[in-house]
Structure 1
Amino acid sequence: MDSHSPLTSKTGHRRRARLILFCLLLTSATASAGTLGEAIDSALDLEGQRARVGALRDEGEATRRQAESLVAGDPGLRVKHLSDQAIANEGAYEWEAMVELPLWMPGQRTARQAVAAALGEQAETLAGLLRWEMAGRVREAVWNARLTQGRADQAAQALANARALATTVDKRLAAGDLARVDALVAHQAVLDREAEHQSARMEAEEALARYRHLTGQTTLPDDSDEAVPPDLSDQLPPDHPLMREADSAVGVARRQRDQARSERTGHPVLSLGTTVTRDARGADQNTALQLELSIPFGLASQSAPSIAAAERVYTEQASERQSLLRQAEAELIAAHLGRRGAAESLAIAERRQEAAREAFALVRRAFELGEADLTTRLRAEDSAREANVALELRRLEQGRARARLNQALGVIPQ
């Protein structure tokens, strides 16, 4: 067949298309995994938490518009009609139309404006709190995925070592240096490592799947290995998102309590309108302007329930703030201890790994020289493998400890 036949040309096009598709997939797979802040933003968008901030801002804006109104409440129209039609039927009647305007008492408008400002501030602190809370969830998901992947990597290396050993044992069996039982033991070790690798790989895939479900991101962020602030302190920072939101909640409750106290007397009502009367049929119609002012007494017994309810909410918010402060302080102490414990565990794991590595090197050399049996070699290899796994996990736990400390300090990735 001619090399330039349509069939050959079509095959070449398909090959080039496959090559281009492969390059695109490779480029997509090796693209930047993004940042921790982007993962947090994506998680917030997926859960729709930011709608709470918008709703709180809308409430504050509505309260502000209400406080800027010329009247203190909803105006009303009052119409009254009197007639003698059902009694004397002499044509007498009276029409009255009044517009009722609730008025502000001194301090009431200011109290509502203060509530509006407090709600706006709470919306801003709520945005920070939601991002901080999501940062904690994303951090834990990231490090769970990294730790399980570390176990899977170590299990894969152990499997490769077991297969290499089984190959060596098979060669020595063929040469007559080892017995058949040694080959069976070596291949049994390969099966054990395969089971461990399969289990570790499934755990890693599940952890990564949970991270993807939380954030919608396919890969872990590049900057997940965080650094702690240089000016590290054992004290809770004053701008901690949890405490800022708690302070703003207390502020809103305080302003609402002040509003309830300012409105204990109610609102005076100014009524403006006209009155049209006629004494008898054929008589002249009289029109007059009418002005009324209704002032409530403001009895303490009537306003006491609303004031007491506002006082209760304020007390609950203040108590909740104190409870949150104690909780945040305890979490910061635990994070500091966790970081110190992780550092101490790493030092121990390094010494253990070094000792296990030297012991395994000696036993492996003895096995190669025929001075040690396979069981002794496998036992030394298991100890070395366990030490390697422990060391790798302790190293990864350093990053998780730093991430948890940053979370306890209120550090939010941007």
Structure 2
Amino acid sequence: MREILLLSIVTFSLDIFSANAQNMPEKIDFHRAVNIAWAVDPVRTELQVGHHSAKARSSAAGSWFAGGPTLSGEYMDDHAIGSNEGYTTYQGGVSVPLWLPGQGSATRQVASAEAASLDEQLNVEHLSLSIRILDGAAKAQIARERLKAANQLYEYASRINSLIAHSAHMGESSSSESQIAQSEMENARNEQALAQEYLENSQAELEVLFTQPVEVDLSHGADMAHVRFVEPRDMEDNDPRVKAAHKNVEAAQANMKLARRSFMPNPELGIDVIHEKQYGSPWDDRVGVNFSIPLPSEVRNTPIMSEASNRLASANSQEIQARRMVHLEISRVRARLMAATAARQTTRIAAANMQKRAAAEEHTWRVGEATLETVMQAEQAACNAQFANARAEVEWHAATLRMMIAMGITP
């Protein structure tokens, strides 16, 4: 019976371990994380479809004619007016719209420019996705460090509470010390629960980008020792957002050229065939040419030119705003990296000093020269300093990776 019970306990423990192992997120580096998220990014699929559509429009604009052929037909006889003399006419024709001078090449240029713009939009989405992954991974890693500090504080508070409870049982501690120890342990437990909630929320936000649980390790790839220095102006020019805005300007310019080439509706040219029968005469066939040339009109052309002008003005404005935004962002990224580097050094020293202070306060408490409240405050300050150090380390790695991304490097 004892062997069966022991086997059941072992089996149950293995099942729990297996389930926890399956639920544990996979730990990957930043470069692989970007590739995984890019493969399942819905915006990428949307932009690729739009790119293929623009290429198809460019190919279709290479047609000989501006549109599909138009068929026309007529049938007339004299029965409708009460006569039956045998006057019958069959008439049919086919016509095709013609390109205006330069309109076909302008249409192809618009489609090609839109395809190039969508190519840059793909790069913009890749950049945006990389930044979202970086921010989400940093948030999740900071949440793990917070939970680690909370666990450390709870373990310490629980150990102190056990010591106080034992000494109170032996009559060596007062009730106030027991209350302080119990209160500090409960506060640590509350912080532990809050840290766990924060971790789960940040992990869920990151999981949305991957459609699976993952843990992104930012410590790998954040090495700028062998990275070539890039001038800030070159960083702005090479930024996908600036390039995409410039491609939109080129597409708007091509659209303006197309609007000028479309100064009138497309003329049509075709062939007509008449097959008729007259009273007392044999069948008569005739073949001719038909054409239709709509004349230019301000009522039609003014809205087309106005829309093209508005699109060009909007594209120029967006390019200027994109360059200003990227310039400001690069300045902020550089400032963040310098601040993170300084914080990484100072918090490391502060954490070491606070840890020594906490150990010294505990020693003085054990010899009866300090209060328990002072010891718990020192330990909490040490845990906070340790968490600040770990957070500064994560933020430094994130700032380094962000700087590399701004330089056009995908770590």
TM-score by length of 1: 0.85
Letter in 1 for 2:305: I
Corresponding residue number in structure 2 for 1:92 = 87
CA distance in 2 between partners of 1:268 and 1:408 (Å): 52
1:353: Cα distance to partner? 2.4
**Residue type of the partner of 2:116?**
E
Within the candidate set 137, 140, 147, 2:142 is matched to: 147
Partners of 2:377 and 2:140 lie apart in 1 by 30
2:77–2:87 Cα contact (<8 Å) kept: yes
Cross-structure match for 2:263 = 264
Is the alpha carbon distance of 1:244 and 1:115 closer, same or farther for their aligned partners in structure 2, counting shifts above 3 Å?
same
Tell whether 2:169 aligns with 1:156. no
Partner of residue 186 from structure 2, selected from 165, 169, 191? 191
Q: Give the structure 1 partner of residue 364 of structure 2.
A: 366
Cα drift, residue 317 of structure 1: 1.4
After superposition, the Cα gap between the structure-2 partners of 1:112 and 1:226, relative to the gap in structure 1 and judged at 3 Å, is same
Q: Closer, same or farther in 2 for the Cα pair 1:160/1:259, shift >3 Å?
A: same
Give the aligned residue type for 2:72: R
CA contact (8 A) 1:59 1:119 kept: no
Residue aligned with 1:62, SS: helix
1:231 to 225, 229, 234: 229
Q: Say which is worse superposed, 74-83 or 170-179, in terms of deviation.
A: 170-179
**What is the DSSP-based 3-state SS (H/G/I as helix, E as strand, rest coil) of the residue aligned with 1:283?**
coil
Q: Which residue of 2 aligns with 1:243?
A: 242
Contact 1:35 1:222 in 2 (8 A): yes
- Paired residue for 1:344, among 327, 342, 345? 342
Write the deviation string for residues 379-400 of structure 1: whole angstroms up to 9, x where unpaired. Answer: 3223323222222222222123
CA separation of 1:79/1:298 partners in 2, compared to 1, >3 Å: closer, same or farther? same
Once the two structures are TM-superposed, the CA of residue 158 in structure 1 deviates from its matched residue by: 1.0
Question: Does the CA-based 8 Å contact 2:218-2:394 persist in structure 1?
Answer: no
DSSP-derived class of the 2:323 partner: helix
Report the count of equivalent residues. Answer: 406
Q: Deviations over 1:104-131 (max 9, x none)?
A: 2331211112122222222322222222
Residue from 282, 289, 292 that aligns with 1:291: 289
Calculate the TM-score normalised by the size of structure 2.
Answer: 0.86
1:122 alignment partner in structure 2: 117
Asked if the contact 2:25–2:213 (Cα under 8 Å) also holds between the matched residues in 1, the reply is no
Distance between the aligned counterparts of 1:300 and 1:341, measured in 2? Answer: 60
CA distance in 1, matches of 2:369, 2:245: 70
Alignment correspondent of 1:71: 65
Asked if 1:108 corresponds to 2:106, the answer is no
Deviation at 1:408, TM superposition (A): 4.4
Contact 1:269 1:293 in 2 (8 A): yes
Aligned partners of 1:207 and 1:186: how far apart in 2? 31
- Which one of 288, 292, 307 corresponds to residue 309 of structure 1? 307
Q: How far is 1:15 from its partner? A: 9.3
Contact 1:268–1:293 (CA<8 Å) still a contact in 2?
yes
The change in CA–CA distance for 1:87 and 1:146 in structure 2 (over 3 A counts) is same
Out of 159, 165, 187, which is 2:160 matched to? 165
Structure 1, unmatched stretches of 5+, are 1-6
Residue 393 of structure 1 corresponds to: 391
Do the aligned partners of 2:110 and 2:251 also contact (CA within 8 Å) in 1?
Answer: yes
The aligned residue for residue 4 of structure 1 is none
- Residue 54 of structure 2 corresponds to 60
Once the two structures are TM-superposed, the CA of residue 159 in structure 1 deviates from its matched residue by: 1.1
For structure 2, the 5+ residue unaligned runs are none
Q: Deviations along 1:43-84, whole A, 9 cap, x unmatched? A: 456662233223312431331232122211121012234444
How far apart are the structure 1 equivalents of 2:61 and 2:263? 17
Supply the AA of the counterpart residue of 1:107: G
RMSD over aligned Cα atoms: 3.3
Change beyond 3 A, Cα 1:232–1:195: farther
CA distance 1:354–1:232, change in 2 (3 Å): farther
In structure 1, distance between residues paired with 2:387 and 2:2: 53
Residues 1:11 and 1:283: Cα distance change in structure 2 (over 3 Å): farther
Name whichever of 63-72 and 8-17 sits farther off. 8-17
**Cα distance 1:171–1:140, how it changes in 2: closer, same or farther (>3 A)?**
same
CA distance in 2, matches of 1:369, 1:198: 33
Q: Which residue of 1 aligns with 2:215?
A: 220
Given residue 265 of structure 1, which amino acid in structure 2 is its aligned partner? Answer: M
The answer to whether the 8 Å contact 2:177/2:372 transfers is yes
CA deviation vs aligned residue, 1:187-227 (integer Å, no higher than 9, x gap): 22212211111211211122112222332221212456542
**Partner Cα separation in structure 2 for residue 227 and residue 151 of structure 1:** 22
CA gap of 1:189–1:17, structure 2 versus 1, over 3 A, is: closer
